[in-house]
Amino acid sequence: MNQRPVLDISDLPTFGHGPRSPTWWGTLGFMALEGTGFALAAGAYLYLATLWPNWRLSAPVPNHWPGTIVTLLLVVSLVPNHILNGYAKRCAMGPVRIGMVVMSLLGLAPLVVRWFEFPALNIYWDTNAYGSMIWVLLGLHTTHLITDVGDTIVLTVLMFTHHGYSGRRFGDVGDNVFYWDFVVLTWIPIYLLIYWLPRLG
């Protein structure tokens, strides 16, 4: 087919931050499907909780302290996370490197405390359906946490190499910030479901 040029796009930039970048939309897509998974798992838990009048099924109440510490750590981590985002937008290598190291450490810290959360549930996954569901919820979020922390660490290493001096990499840092917000956000309802819902019954 014959063509006639009508538009010159040679001046367009080669990368964009946030919603300008397809990667950001892809991240959003994966959040949507992971969020749906979490919502359905939480829905299954609530379904069983309403089905049985004596929910918790005479299991002991979980010890909420490790979970509460994880929650506090995650909420606190949002502050450096967003400071990092500002530097990533400005493509400032020095502060971004510091920020990535800080976020890697702030990712590892709740993972360490998470280790103590499982025994603090005071029940095993194979005792009854209540135990199964709270292990599943905690397990789902732990998987989430591990994969994102792994991703953060790899990106941190990458930012210390010459590959880091690229608009794309700073965009990746921005998307990592975005995803961490999501990891924190999904934890709040799960925290309430695991530790506080059983105290109502």
One residue of 136, 181, 185, 197 binding other proteins per CB under 8 A: 136
Alpha carbon distance 92, 116 (integer Å): 37
Alpha carbon distance 11, 80 (integer Å): 34
Alpha carbon distance 37, 82 (integer Å): 26
One residue of 82, 115, 168, 196 binding other proteins per CB under 8 A: 168
One residue of 89, 105, 111, 197 binding other proteins per CB under 8 A: 89
One residue of 63, 76, 80, 125 binding other proteins per CB under 8 A: 125
Query: Segment 145-164, which members bind other proteins (CB under 8 A)?
Result: 150, 154, 158, 163
Is residue 41 involved in binding other proteins (CB under 8 A)? Answer: yes
Contact 100, 155 (CB under 8 A): yes
- Applying CB under 8 A, the site for other proteins has a residue count of 66
Secondary structure of residue 135 in the 3-state scheme: helix
Alpha carbon distance 169, 167 (integer Å): 5
Is residue 200 involved in binding other proteins (CB under 8 A)? Answer: no
Is residue 50 involved in binding other proteins (CB under 8 A)? Answer: no
One residue of 20, 82, 119, 201 binding other proteins per CB under 8 A: 20
Cβ count within 10 A of residue 3: 5
Cβ count within 10 A of residue 99: 24
Is residue 25 involved in binding other proteins (CB under 8 A)? Answer: yes
Rg value, the chain, Cα: 21
Specify the residue, 36 or 199, whose C-beta has the smaller distance to other proteins: 36
Amino acid identity for residue 13 in this structure:
P
Site residues, other proteins (CB under 8 A): 1-22, 25-26, 29-30, 32-34, 36-37, 40-41, 44, 47-48, 51-52, 55, 57, 89-94, 125-133, 135-136, 150, 154, 158, 163, 165-168, 170
